[in-house]
Structure 1
Amino acid sequence: MSFRFRGGVAGANAISGVDVADHCKEAFLELQRKKAHRYVIFKIDDNKNEVVVDKTGSPSESYEDFISELPENDCRYAVFDFDFVTSDNCQKSKIFFIAWSPESSQIRAKMLYATSKSKLRRDLDGVHYEIQATDPEEMELGALRERVN
């Protein structure tokens, strides 16, 4: 079902966001179950049709490595496998979903990413915490530590 909108054709995805490519869930499961990645960064493809994997980070990469891979002026989704030690001296891991929408990104991109987020989140079963960030300070390592304590 399509309808005309400002001279173009807009389908149901114009309102509900875009589809999620199958390999997104596979990459997430590799992070979650196999610990094959420290992080997975997702983007909406150039045709604005679906969410795809943009980059993955090896298990040895740090949070700083992850942050450096996020674009300064464009939106992204990401999952990060955060390792930490509890007050009882237990090694634990929690998965964070991060919706990166910097203030300097285009309004259309922000809107598209906002309307497409829920579809991706439903496919990523096992995320423990979610962060919506518009500024790097909102996702500093201390913010993750605060959430898990």
Structure 2
Amino acid sequence: MNKANAVSGMAVHDECKLKFLELKAKRNHRFIVFKIDEKIQQVTVERVGSPQASYEDFTKSLPADECRHAVFDFDFTTSENVQKSKIFFIAWAPDASRVRSKMVYASSKDRFKRELDGIHVELQATDPSEMSLDIIKGRAL
């Protein structure tokens, strides 16, 4: 486990980086949902999606009333017909989540994102419409 950051006080469990490396290098996962355990001040892996998982599977895995950090490996074809992939970092902070939780996730986001080397696009969403597949496609190109 990493030492807690002096600013956010948040530690990042080694499994977070390990699963992210598997997603990035081996493409073993389509998405990863990370949860902050506020009691122990640590970011942990909550859920991992198989390589066959869809974007809909990913969005359904996010709680409607709790914040999460997540990464999604988005495959697409460019206008030149080239297969590409971009890794999205999604800061999920639904309006229904607790104010304290929103503050904890917001204050730890940048440091946590730096631990995950290889993020291409960051997206912040408070509502599913703010991270629709159309928005993802638009940000990927």
TM-score (norm 1): 0.88
Establish whether residue 132 from structure 1 lines up as the match of residue 107 from structure 2.
Answer: no
Per the TM alignment, residue 48 of structure 1 is displaced from its structure 2 partner at its CA by 4.2
Contact (CA 8 Å) 1:96, 1:131: kept in 2 or not? yes
- RMSD between aligned residues: 1.4
Residue 148 of structure 1 deviates from its aligned partner by 1.7
CA displacement at 1:140 relative to structure 2:
0.2
- Does residue 1:86 correspond to 2:43, yes or no? no
Tell me the residue number matched to 1:6.
none
Gaps of 5+ in 2: none
Q: Partners of 2:80 and 2:5 in 1: how far apart? A: 47
Describe how 1:1-149 pairs up with structure 2 within 5 A: 15-149=7-141
Distance change (3 Å), C-alpha of 1:101 and 1:17: farther
Which runs of 4 or more aligned residues in structure 1 lie more than 4 Å from their structure 2 counterparts after TM superposition?
Answer: 12-15
Mark the structure with the bigger radius of gyration. 1
Q: Contact 1:17/1:115 (CA < 8 Å) preserved in 2?
A: no
Which whole-Å deviations, capped at 9, do the CAs of 1:58-82 have from their partners, x for residues lacking one?
Answer: 0000000000000000000000000
Aligned AA for 1:134?
A: T
Write the distance in 2 (CA, Å) between the matches of 1:13 and 1:32: 24
- In 2, the alpha carbon distance for the partners of 1:16 and 1:128 equals 23
Residue identity in the other structure for 2:93: S
Contact residue 19 and residue 119 of structure 1 kept, 8 A? no
SS, match of residue 109 in structure 1: helix
- Counterpart of 1:96 in structure 2: which amino acid? F
CA distance in 1, matches of 2:26, 2:7: 35
Unpaired stretches in structure 1, ≥5 consecutive residues? 1-11
TM-score, normalization by structure 2: 0.93
Cα distance change of structure 1 residues 124 and 13 upon mapping to structure 2, 3 Å threshold: closer
